[in-house]
Structure 1
């Protein structure tokens, strides 16, 4: 701890500086970033300040510049800064055993609401039917973008939207693309490639292993 020493009335006074905040960038978007400051998570837009006065100076898909204690500092995704310097957080991992029907099932959540996922590497995004979306409180008809998708029953209406968060085990991603499909198909909520592409994954002898990327 750094001290400024001053001799005053024969006494030695020590005035410590405040500890530097711990800052981590956990989500990147054009002109915005999700940051964690001393455990507090917040979405910041360029020019906006968050906990401990941390300000987002710029952000794109490659990284962000944050003003921490008056100093503009570049951050990559999930790169953590503290008073002791930079450190990479430990990778989060999850192993899923093959289950019923030879499929991989895993409990998780969407926007903090509990969900049972069917892992589907053939699905381009997280996908669900209208009833499942309604149960999760997703306002897909207002906030979603209309589109059409090909299903076994033919071409049906659907909506594309961005989920605030998708989590399985200790792996949580923010801003995940999803498709809400009219009718009753798919019967299960599919954990597709809009999530899987953003984590490391591999299959080994009947076990699917997911690992958070740095």
Structure 2
């Protein structure tokens, strides 16, 4: 199995922004102790303790370092301080997802693999979705029957397992049966590679990258 790597990580992002008229726009303005300051739909900042809800129905589930775990529009989301997420219920997961680039035009995004949360780097130079071994273990990915190969990394030749992921979700976009690789070494962030991105229409709108499901 051959895995293509870009010459450098395409690092990046600020927020997932599926556009719609009835979205709940949630920003995390501050985090301290077991509380978070949330701004919903541009309204006044609201300080919530874990377990509390805003009048709009956004619940603070947990605090993990600089990340607030929230429940919004029937889904769990992980939002870092200074980021925001816009969500809506989407028919069959086909709404557009907007990724806001950083000052260098790089992108990253919070997503889910097999219903487990994970943070991705968007990397068009990676031929498949790529995950470090510790993340694979946390996500319950079985390597016992996986095809084993090797890949060249900056640190040298490393073992890699070829797997199929039951599902990969980014915002409202969900793909099933996605080819992926699990590396024996850990990655700072998982790579959202072309086994996911090739099934999307990708359009640049200024500093934004727009993803739309092809099939």
TM-score (norm 1): 0.54
- Alignment: residue pair count: 125
Q: Residue by residue, what CA displacement relative to the aligned partner does 1:75-117 show, whole Å, maximum 9, x if unpaired?
A: xxxxxxxxxxxxx979421000013764211111000111111
Task: Measure, in 1, the Cα distance between the counterparts of 2:92 and 2:120.
Answer: 26
Shift of 1:204: 2.5
- How does 1:120-199 map onto structure 2 within 5 Å? 120-140=123-143, 142-184=144-186, 186-199=187-200
| 2:49 counterpart residue number | none
Shift of 1:137: 1.3
Point out the structure with the larger strand share: 1
Shift of 1:161: 0.2
Shift of 1:172: 0.3
Quick check: 1:128–1:187 contact (8 Å CA) kept in 2? no
Q: SS where residue 121 of structure 2 aligns?
A: strand
Quick check: 2:93–2:172 contact (8 Å CA) kept in 1? no
Greater RCO, CA 8 A, separation 6+: 2
| 1:200 counterpart residue number | 201
Consecutive unaligned residues of structure 2, counting only runs of 5 or more, are 1-90
Quick check: 1:95–1:209 contact (8 Å CA) kept in 2? yes
TM-score (norm 2): 0.54
Q: Residue by residue, what CA displacement relative to the aligned partner does 1:151-186 show, whole Å, maximum 9, x if unpaired?
A: 1111111000000000101110000011101112x3
- How does 1:82-121 map onto structure 2 within 5 Å? 91-99=94-102, 102-121=105-124
Consecutive unaligned residues of structure 1, counting only runs of 5 or more, are 1-87
Q: CA RMSD in A?
A: 2.0
